[in-house]
Amino acid sequence: MAGERQELLDLRRLAELETRAERAQQIQRPNPVVGGLAEMTGGANRAILSALDFLIPDQVNAALELAGSDKRIPTLTEKLGPVVAPPAGTYLGEGMPADMLSKAGEMAAISLGTGSALRAGAQSLSPLAQAGESAARGTLRMMGNTSAGQDIAAGALGGTGGEIGRHIGGTPGEMLGTMLTPAAPSTMRAAGSEAIRLAARGGEPGRQVVQSAVDDAKRAGTNLTAGQATGRHGLQAAETAARPLIGGGPLERALERSNSDIQRRLAQISDDISTTRGTEAAGRTIKGAISGQGGFVDRFKAQSGVMWRAVDDAIGAETQVGVSNTKGALDNLVRTDDFAKILNTPKIAEIKGAMDARQSVDYATLRELRSAIGARLSDQRLTSDIPTSELRRLYGAISEDIRSAAGAAGDDVLRAFNRANNYTRSGHARLEGFIENVMKKDDFAKVFTAVTKGGAGTQTINAFKRSMKPREWEIVASNVVRELGRASDGAQSAAGDAFSINKFLTDWNRLGVAKQAVFSGSPKLAKYGRDLEAIARTAERVKTASQVGSNSSGTAQMSINVSAGLALGGAALTGNWPVLAGALTAIGLNNASARLMSNPRFVSWLAGTTRFDTKSLASHAARLAAIQQSMSLDDAEAVNSLLRQLGTEQ
């Protein structure tokens, strides 16, 4: 009985001792946060001690062993490890959490040391080596292109992922975990960015649409909202709905800026082309360029005279020229019946009377008669007493008689005649077909409008453009730009600077095919013609986006704003803070979305492609190299293969 009692006492004392030991262990073990930091610190210290052992003690011991000595010096891990680098689980207890944190600290230290060495190596490359670096140097430079913070963070993530992988799949799992886990944050960011981009503008075709829109807007001197750039009706409708609401001011201001930016860009283009402003000034320039001193008519006459003098000299002034064609034309133009005095043109009848008794005329006389008729055809003021149609027929008949004389004088003379005759005929066709009707107008502004109105074709524009000097036509083109989008007189402001994107598009589209004719003929005009095309596309995007989902009466937006205002005022007066907070939150969200949609950087970001962080690959490769030492030969060879692949891709 006494023995059993003693045994019970012994068991009780043993239980008390076990309880005291457990309490002592709990007292010594820190809380999980401190314990986790301690596990990571211990892991980092183990990595540091291991690296220092490799530099000195391990080398000395290897030399002693090669020399056949049994002596060896203690390592730092053996001396200091139990104190500063205890085994994993010392603070948190054995298990995966302790292993993960300990390995995270160990790999963070290894990654920091490796990254620092790589950065030092990359910076120490000489300029000559940088100019002609090998693949190895290029890999070193890329792998060293990280910061200390990146090394530590990636190392910790790699250690954690590697330990999880080891618990799941052994050494191969550790390798995959170490490689993939540090890349997860950048991959998730990239995936998130791509998801937003896909939602906002679609895939690659949508990206190209946004990029094209951003490029056009840049040439137009403005920025687009997300809805304008993407062309997505959903975004456009959302912007249209948010713009007039409380908090939607950024979108409203963006629309106003687009209008003023495009107006400013058009003014800049017109001034770059020419500083002569106003349709009246442009019309005066047109008239002077055609009929003024040194204008097209004077230049045409002078050149025509030079070409015909060469023919005159070759044929000879006294040469008799048959006038059968001339007489035949006069017979058709002049009547001989009782109505002759009423219907005949006196001047034409006089010419017929002089020709009736002749079968030939000396070349000088015939040439002078042809020149007089040509002068009347070139100057509308001289044809008032003779119908142009009769002058034209007589001019053509005389030309045929002179052609025969030129052919009789030789092939060279005939070719000179054809050149002179073709030049004169084309000049008259230009003057009579397109120019003379415009030049009849006395109002200079109407002259400008008649030349540049477009829509019906390009013949009139081309006729005037070919007849004017480049600088003269640039004055016309610059004022075409100035008139684009300018409000009509009834809607114009007192300053005369009222502008509308809608009016700009109307004016631009009204030009039709004439746009190419107006903005061509010189590199400057061609460049600005392309800019104007980009401006028109931008203006069309702005106009279209503003009309999607619009409420022309504005009653819906007004009702929402009134309701929001009443909610704010009522909540503030009654102290209903939840309602006040909800209303303010709604306004704040509308403002935030409006600022985002109108932010140029956000729109440019939508045009970009998703990019993964290639710098992290270099850090991952360095960490893989660091854990090779603990792998089997097969696993190490797999890592080597992966490292070679990364080095090639870098």
**How many separate domains does the chain show?**
4
Same domain, yes or no: 450 and 541 = yes
Provide the domain limits for residue 21. 1-26
Residues 499 and 486: beta-carbon distance below 8 Å? yes
In a domain, 192, yes or no: no
Same domain, yes or no: 403 and 453 = no
Q: Which amino acid is residue 75, in one-letter code?
A: T
pLDDT bin (cut points 50, 70, 90) of residue 571 is: very low
Which residues in 73-99 are b (16+ Cβ under 10 Å) and which e?
Answer: eebbbeeebeebbbebbbbbeeeebbb
Same domain, yes or no: 478 and 386 = no
pLDDT above 70: residue 624 = no
Same domain, yes or no: 442 and 520 = yes
Same domain, yes or no: 378 and 449 = no
pLDDT above 70: residue 388 = yes
pLDDT digits (tens, 9 = 90+) for 28-57: 555 666 666 777 777 777 777 777 777 677
In a domain, 220, yes or no: no
Same domain, yes or no: 303 and 407 = yes
In a domain, 163, yes or no: no
Q: Give the number of other CB atoms < 10 A from CB of residue 648.
A: 9
Domain end residue (candidates: 75, 92, 109): 92
Give 382 or 169, the one with higher predicted confidence: 169
Listed in sequence order, the DSSP H helices in 361-511 are 363-378, 388-409, 411-430, 436-439, 444-452, 459-467, 470-483, 501-511
Instruction: Determine the pLDDT at residue 142.
Output: 45
Residues 398 and 327: beta-carbon distance below 8 Å? no
In a domain, 558, yes or no: no
Average pLDDT over residues 364-369: 90
pLDDT bin (cut points 50, 70, 90) of residue 559 is: very low
Element (H or E) spanning 360, and its range? strand 360-362
Same domain, yes or no: 514 and 423 = no
What are the tokens at 353? 């009377």
Instruction: Determine the pLDDT at residue 477.
Output: 92
Rounded to two decimals, the pTM is: 0.58
Domain end residue (candidates: 434, 465, 483): 434
Percent of all residues in the chain with a pLDDT value above 70, rounded to a whole number: 59
Q: Which amino acid is residue 218, in one-letter code?
A: K
Same domain, yes or no: 375 and 305 = yes
Same domain, yes or no: 522 and 483 = yes
pLDDT digits (tens, 9 = 90+) for 311-334: 999 999 999 999 999 999 988 988
Same domain, yes or no: 382 and 483 = no
Instruction: Determine the pLDDT at residue 361.
Output: 92
In a domain, 482, yes or no: yes
In a domain, 205, yes or no: no
Same domain, yes or no: 455 and 348 = no
Same domain, yes or no: 352 and 394 = yes
pLDDT digits (tens, 9 = 90+) for 185-235: 544 444 445 455 555 555 678 778 888 888 999 999 999 888 888 887 777
pLDDT digits (tens, 9 = 90+) for 231-277: 877 777 777 777 766 667 788 888 889 899 999 999 999 999 999 99
Domain end residue (candidates: 492, 518, 547): 547
In a domain, 35, yes or no: yes
In a domain, 565, yes or no: no
**Mutual orientation of helices 296-315 and 411-430 as an angle, nearest 10°?**
160
Element (H or E) spanning 519, and its range? none
pLDDT digits (tens, 9 = 90+) for 494-514: 666 788 889 999 999 988 888
In degrees and rounded to multiples of 5, residue 171 shows phi and psi of: -60, -45
